[in-house]
Structure 1
Amino acid sequence: MSIRVKASVLPLLITVAMGMSACSQSGQTEQPEQVTNTKSSAADATILRFSHFWPATSAMQTEVFEPWAKKLETESNGLLKVEIYPSATLSKPDVTYDSAAKGTIDIGAQAHGYTAGRFPLTQIAELPGLSNSAVQMSCMLQTLYDNGTIASEYEDTHLLFLMGAGPSALHTVDKVIRVPEDMKGMRIRRPSAIAGDIIEASGGSPVGLPAPDIYTSLQRGVIDGLSFPWQPTGDFRITELTNAHTNIPFYNSALLVTMNKDRYEALSDDLKKIIDDNSGRVMADIAGEMTDREDSKFMEEARAKGDVMVDIPDPLNDPDWKGPLTEGTQKYLSDVRALGLDADSVYEKVKVASAACKV
């Protein structure tokens, strides 16, 4: 009797043993599968196309944008990859912001002055006497965005960070500009409406050109000189053609880096956080510090090759320059008021930010 019982139980025991063996084997293979699933692949990665107008060899590309892109990729374990397109190869300099807003590109960097009237409140920060360095200007812009003063101008994109150029200079070939009257009859490239107003008030003829077109325009005599900070003057090789420079901080350009809103919202919360942690003031400071270093480098290079240098560090208190600068400032504020915007209130807030950000 006991033998029959054991015989009948034997198949059951074999079945159970096989089941336990299968479970054991399954348990041994689960862990590698989980590890494999945590590794990103090219198919998993989100590719973000980033367009800007600086040359590929510029410090803005090599010291700001490339390290930023690498940091996003590293912190996301390869799930975020930024493809950078310099020299305006993916979008024209004056439509880069709109291209990001529409989704033609994912990320774009642009100078505000390339789209006259598009950022009227932000550009109040460009007015004379408000900033003496790129670090200060970058801090001012990011502060004004973070406290809501100018945030409404970027609602159609996801703004990453704002940054500022260093103080401007006037760069010419042979003719030295010491007083406003020296600009009479000269065609001067202007980077924004504000600079254009001041050049016009000084008797010059402002000419609007994107940065990549300046070299050939100066070479062919389309313009006689230009208004430009030192860092891009070196980046775009303008110092090869010019030999006279008037260092006069009559404006500071504002610049932006922004992202398509839908592209940002489609990311997971973890990836959004990585982008957020590498945006805002931290990047504004990095860009500002790089720009000030490059400004000094290119200025010293021009001085070393024997170029003429005229320094007017405080033009608002200079008897020759105060008039045109004041006239240009009031004209711009009047134009902003005509749009129905509270230019005077924003101007006062910009002054507060300027004092708080002073280096």
Structure 2
Amino acid sequence: MTQMTRRSVLAALATSPLWLQTSWAQTGALKISHQFPGGTLAEGDFRDRLTRMFAAEVEKRTKGALKFSIYPGSSLMKTNAQFSAMRKGALDLSLVPLSYAGGEVPEVNIGLMPGLVTTYEQGYGWKNQEIGKALTQLLWEKGVVLVSWIWQAGGVASRVKPVVDPEDAKGMKIRGGSREMDLILKAAGAAVVSLPSNEIYAAMQTGAMDAALTSSTSLISFRLEEVSKALTTGRGTAYWFMFEPLMMSRSAYERLPKDQQAAIMAVGAELEAFAKTAAQADDTQVASVYQKSGAKVVDLSAASVKKWQAIARTTAWKDYGERNDNCAKLLALAEKTL
């Protein structure tokens, strides 16, 4: 019986395309980690939904050869550990703000550079322009594969007053979300608070923080309207645009056969339209959510964006461009898209 079983196994291995193409086989589900609330394919934070849609479609296209396990709410590992874990091959995929890795790879802070991206069309246009190709190559060299380009506009939730123009920030304790955002807030006279978006609620609830800049989707998903008296939306225009892609560990990616790699990249690209539509819908929905909670809701004008952009050029952009040659190159390429 043992001999027959062994023969059966050997015969199966000999005829398996996966084993013929590569010496490595995906023996367990690929892990996808993110910090956002979990939901379903049809309901919940669109970033969680996107990971579920991605997993289902890739599994379908690979006829079950690739399967995925999704870990929302930083349930697998801490938020700020995800990028490093992908680089080391300890995590397969993550949907995470790229700027969270700025302390490890300073170049990635281009993904949350105040005033550098002011519309979705401009941000998504990066992918096929010089800036997008350079950023994709940089991440590849750092051990990370860009799978889906996702941009989100953001606004400001405040427990005190609306933050619209730079002078409104003076004396407030505000979370910016990146080194560069913090620089413009400091220049405007604010005290900065650094923490991931899933920790904003507690900080505002206790008064440790007065206001926070974050994406429209996070403003909804983390129920910040419960601790806010005012909201500055990102609908129409914004100086806060965040690049929050779905990424994969290069080492995990390279272990897969070519057809599975192709499926991952194709599905990732196809989901970008969903991400853009969902993010824009949240830019509008967030205003309704906060109005219903009794918060004062205001929109940014082009003039207000230009005020923040002017501060950014002499602080955040200058600081970033001087950090190293790669940063200078990326900034120059990004400015061509303005």
| TM-score bucket (shorter structure) | 0.7 to 0.9
Deviation at 1:88, TM superposition (A): 0.8
Residue aligning to 1:85: 71
Indicate whether 1:339 and 2:328 are aligned: no
Ranges in structure 1 where 5+ consecutive residues have no aligned partner: 1-32, 355-359
1:55–1:61 Cα contact (<8 Å) kept = no
Check 1:125–1:209 CA distance in 2 against 1; reply closer, same or farther (3 A cut): closer
2:150–2:272 Cα contact (<8 Å) kept = yes
CA deviations 1:117-147 (Å, max 9, x no partner) are 4454443354344434446424425645653
TM-score normalised to structure 1 length: 0.77
- Distance in 1, Cα, partners of 2:87 & 2:276: 25
Q: Which AA in structure 1 matches 2:240?
A: Y
Indicate whether 1:239 and 2:225 are aligned: yes
List aligned pairs for 1:138-177, cutoff 5 A: 138-141=124-127, 143-144=129-130, 146-149=132-135, 151-155=137-141, 156-166=143-153, 168-177=154-163
Check 1:76–1:263 CA distance in 2 against 1; reply closer, same or farther (3 A cut): same
Residue aligning to 2:273: 285
1:250–1:315 Cα contact (<8 Å) kept = no
Deviation at 1:257, TM superposition (A): 2.0
Deviation at 1:192, TM superposition (A): 0.9
Count of residues paired in the alignment = 312
- Distance in 2, Cα, partners of 1:96 & 1:242: 29
1:121–1:343 Cα contact (<8 Å) kept = yes
- Distance in 1, Cα, partners of 2:302 & 2:129: 24
Deviation at 1:327, TM superposition (A): 2.8
- Distance in 1, Cα, partners of 2:247 & 2:52: 16
2:205–2:227 Cα contact (<8 Å) kept = yes
Residue aligning to 1:116: 102
Which of the two has higher C-alpha Rg? 1
Q: Which AA in structure 1 matches 2:152?
A: A
Check 1:219–1:282 CA distance in 2 against 1; reply closer, same or farther (3 A cut): same
Instruction: Compute the RMSD of aligned alpha carbons.
Output: 2.9
1:189–1:226 Cα contact (<8 Å) kept = yes
Deviation at 1:282, TM superposition (A): 2.9
- Distance in 2, Cα, partners of 1:144 & 1:120: 19
Indicate whether 1:193 and 2:175 are aligned: no
- Distance in 2, Cα, partners of 1:144 & 1:240: 42
- Distance in 2, Cα, partners of 1:108 & 1:62: 11
CA deviations 1:94-128 (Å, max 9, x no partner) are 12111111122111222122233445444335434
1:185–1:205 Cα contact (<8 Å) kept = yes
List aligned pairs for 1:281-320, cutoff 5 A: 281-315=269-303
Ranges in structure 2 where 5+ consecutive residues have no aligned partner: 1-10, 19-24
